[in-house]
Amino acid sequence: MDRVDLAVVGGGVIGALIAREAVAAFPGATVAVLERGMVGQGASSRSAGVHFPRGGTERVRSMSAYSQGVWEQLAAELDLPIRTVDATVVSSGDVDAVSPVYVRLGDETVPAGDWAALPGARAWDLDGCHHADVQAVAGRVLAGLRDRVTVLEGTEVTELSSDGEYHRLALGPGRELLARRVVLAPGPWIAHPAWVELVAPLGLRVKKVVATHLEGAPAPGDPLVVFHDEDAFLLPLHERGHYLFSYTCDRWDVTPEDVGPVLEPSDLDDARAVLGRFAPGLVDRCTSGRVFCDAYSPHREPVVAELLPGLVFAGAANGSGYRLAPAIAAETVAALDLTPTGSTSPLLQRQT
Ligand SMILES: Cc1cc2nc3c(=O)[nH]c(=O)nc-3n(C[C@H](O)[C@H](O)[C@H](O)COP(=O)(O)OP(=O)(O)OC[C@H]3O[C@@H](n4cnc5c(N)ncnc54)[C@H](O)[C@@H]3O)c2cc1C
């Protein structure tokens, strides 16, 4: 039977960053990423990939600042599809009310473009923002690790059990893997039968996430506009030739199988209603979009939690799993002891 020091279940952006962090911290460790489909094709494939230096709590602000540094470094090292973008934040609160949420606010700015701040709201420049093709980022991070990490795609973990020293992962009929440590990074697949009971005490829920697309190319230099009060943003996607509008969809307790890839008419109606408040001229251009779901935690901070000795859950980043992935990965690997014991053998890719 094959054995590894660490099995990472889930090849999304969070699983990819955890694998990278694990081999950086423990260069001798044997690591496998187990992905049911293809790398990056879960929630990561639908992500708007926006990073802003933002956080509703001190821990999230600190994770956001840490992650920004890692993304900037990795973007240069791995030539990742990450694009910096000028940004404006609009809020009805004053600077004091907004600044605890946003790490760096610049000068007060004069709104320009197709949107207008609501009466009484003000707008400020916001430094440090970028957006990414998250599916491609996950793929490229793992591509750079292939000499050190075994990536098994099309491989579903169907059962999990523990016998003290090792965790046993069933990988479909007749195939098993023993792992000293396991990280579950399943994105919104928190209710998989293999771990639903283990994860239940965390109190996670899955929410639908929607971002609509607006017909028509953005003008050069158009900024990302963050509407703080509405928890919405308007992102120019020059490389795709359209705007993306993200708003807060309030549909809870869905499953990845429920939401599928297709927008419901009510998704467009809801997006248009929010967009119409500050950009009525754009409403008719809001004609399509992307939809999926994400795992949310009760306290709205990402979860890194040891569920059994040596078995850690990582994720539930509340719709911010791209921008916080490096910090989630660092916390996860800090919670694992991967010091080689000499009792493991490299993963052999064969049927047992
Ligand atoms: C429309 C939309 C817009 C978003 N915009 C942003 C944004 O602007 N900024 C931001 O930071 N975040 C954003 N997010 C959230 C972000 O995309 C997610 O938080 C992030 O992608 C989660 O990454 P993950 O690796 O945990 O999950 P996933 O990418 O879903 O990866 C989990 C993987 O686990 C695999 N898996 C599940 N079960 C098994 C099993 N039994 N065996 C093997 N593999 C399994 C799945 O196939 C999947 O590939 C957005 C999300 C959506 C849907």
290 and 141 housed in the same domain? no
Q: Residue length, the chain?
A: 352
Question: Please, are residues 178 and 167 in contact by the beta-carbon 8 Å criterion?
Answer: yes
* Confidence category of residue 350, pLDDT binned at 50, 70, 90: very low
| Cα-based angle 247, 251, 252 (whole degrees, multiple of 5) | 125
Q: Which of 294, 301, 318, 324 to mutate to test the pocket of ligand 1 (most atoms within 8 A of CB)?
A: 294
71 and 178 housed in the same domain? yes
348 and 211 housed in the same domain? no
Spatial neighbors of 323 by CB under 8 A, at least 6 apart, are 50, 51, 52, 64, 67, 68, 71
135 and 272 housed in the same domain? no
197 and 136 housed in the same domain? yes
How does pLDDT run across 218-256, given as a tens digit for each residue? 988 899 999 888 899 999 999 999 999 999 999 999 999
- Per DSSP, the three-state class of 228 is coil
Question: What confidence score (pLDDT) does residue 101 get?
Answer: 52
Q: What is the DSSP letter of 310?
A: T
Question: What confidence score (pLDDT) does residue 352 get?
Answer: 33
Structural domain harbouring 5? 1-83+130-203+298-352
- Cα(116)–Cα(173) distance, rounded to whole angstroms? 58
How does pLDDT run across 262-304, given as a tens digit for each residue? 999 999 999 999 999 888 889 999 999 999 999 999 999 999 9
74 and 211 housed in the same domain? no
57 and 141 housed in the same domain? yes
Q: Is 326 in the pocket of ligand 1 (CB under 6 A)?
A: no
Q: What is the DSSP letter of 280?
A: G
Q: For residue 292, give the H/E element and its range.
A: strand 286-296
- Cα(300)–Cα(145) distance, rounded to whole angstroms? 31
Q: What is the DSSP letter of 120?
A: T
Q: Is 15 in the pocket of ligand 1 (CB under 6 A)?
A: yes
241 and 349 housed in the same domain? no
Residue 343: left (phi > 0), alpha (psi -120 to 50), or beta? alpha
- Is the pLDDT at 99 greater than 70? The verdict is no
Question: Please, are residues 321 and 185 in contact by the beta-carbon 8 Å criterion?
Answer: no
Neighbour-count burial of 265, counting CB atoms closer than 10 A to its CB (0-12 exposed, 13-18 middle, 19+ buried): exposed
Count other Cβ atoms within 10 Å, centred on residue 49: 23
Q: Is 211 in the pocket of ligand 1 (CB under 6 A)?
A: yes
Nearest ligand 1 atom to alpha carbon 233: 8
Q: Which of 33, 35, 288 to mutate to test the pocket of ligand 1 (most atoms within 8 A of CB)?
A: 35
Mean pLDDT of the residues in the chain: 90
Q: Is 68 in the pocket of ligand 1 (CB under 6 A)?
A: no
234 and 331 housed in the same domain? no
How does pLDDT run across 17-66, given as a tens digit for each residue? 999 999 999 999 999 999 999 999 999 999 999 999 888 888 998 999 99
Q: Is 55 in the pocket of ligand 1 (CB under 6 A)?
A: no
- Where residue 215 sits, what CATH number does that domain have? 3.30.9.10
Protein residue closest via CA to atom 48 of ligand 1:
42
Give the residue among 15, 2, 17 at the shortest CA–CA distance from 313. Answer: 15
- Where residue 195 sits, what CATH number does that domain have? 3.50.50.60
* Confidence category of residue 92, pLDDT binned at 50, 70, 90: confident
Handedness of CA 193, 19, 315, 129 (dihedral sign): negative
116 and 39 housed in the same domain? no
Nearest ligand 1 atom to alpha carbon 38: 49
284 and 309 housed in the same domain? no
- Cα(132)–Cα(64) distance, rounded to whole angstroms? 15
The fraction of the chain above a pLDDT of 70, given in percent, is 90
Q: Which of 250, 269, 296 is the last residue of a domain?
A: 296
Compute the distance from residue 322 Cα to the ligand 1 centre, in Å: 8
245 and 332 housed in the same domain? no
- Per DSSP, the three-state class of 21 is helix
What tokens were used for 135?
């599916």
> How many structural domains does the chain have?
2
